[in-house]
Amino acid sequence: MPLEIPNDRGVFRLSIPVLTEDIDEQNHVNNVIYLRWVQEVAFAHWITLGSKELISNYKWVVLRHEIDYHSPALPSDTIEASTWIDAPEGPRQRRFVSIRRKSDNKALASAITSWCLLDALTGRPRRVTEEITTVFGLKN
């Protein structure tokens, strides 16, 4: 079932064109590409909203990806990846991603990913700070 994009908290959107190399032998976007899009929108969210200080002090690593495929993306489509976060649990934070075709808003895929915040210098897990959740638009 597609994810419902919330109206009441920070949702970040990224427009991504389907590239020729994204298409597989079945003439639709290969499932691995959706994972790339999940990574791209997460990275863009962090880089766009995070301060230089936050970005230099912290790094994110993936602990788990869970993707549901709803409908294929096709050659010449442009997709919109929307992402938002859940309340953190220590160093972990769940991220939601909805991937839709821009032309008709059709749900193509949904993902729930678990990320771990790391100290950039030590590589050790760090508790997600209120500053980070505020930057991401999470309202308590």
pLDDT in tens, 74-128: 998 999 999 999 999 999 999 999 999 999 999 999 999 999 999 999 999 999 9
CA distance 52 to 136: 15
CA 112, distance to chain mean position in Å, is 8
CATH code at 52? 3.10.129.10
**Quick one: pLDDT at residue 139?**
60
H helix or E strand, kind and range, residue 131: helix 130-135
Q: Is residue 3 part of a domain?
A: no
Q: Is residue 1 part of a domain?
A: no
Return mean pLDDT, the chain: 93
**Quick one: pLDDT at residue 8?**
63
CB 80 within 8 A of CB 88: no
Q: Name the domain count of the chain.
A: 1
> Of 16, 127, 112, which Cα lies nearest the Cα of 67?
112
pTM of the model: 0.92
Task: Tell me the residue range of the domain where 95 lies.
Answer: 12-135
What percent of the chain clears pLDDT 70, i.e. is strictly above it?
97
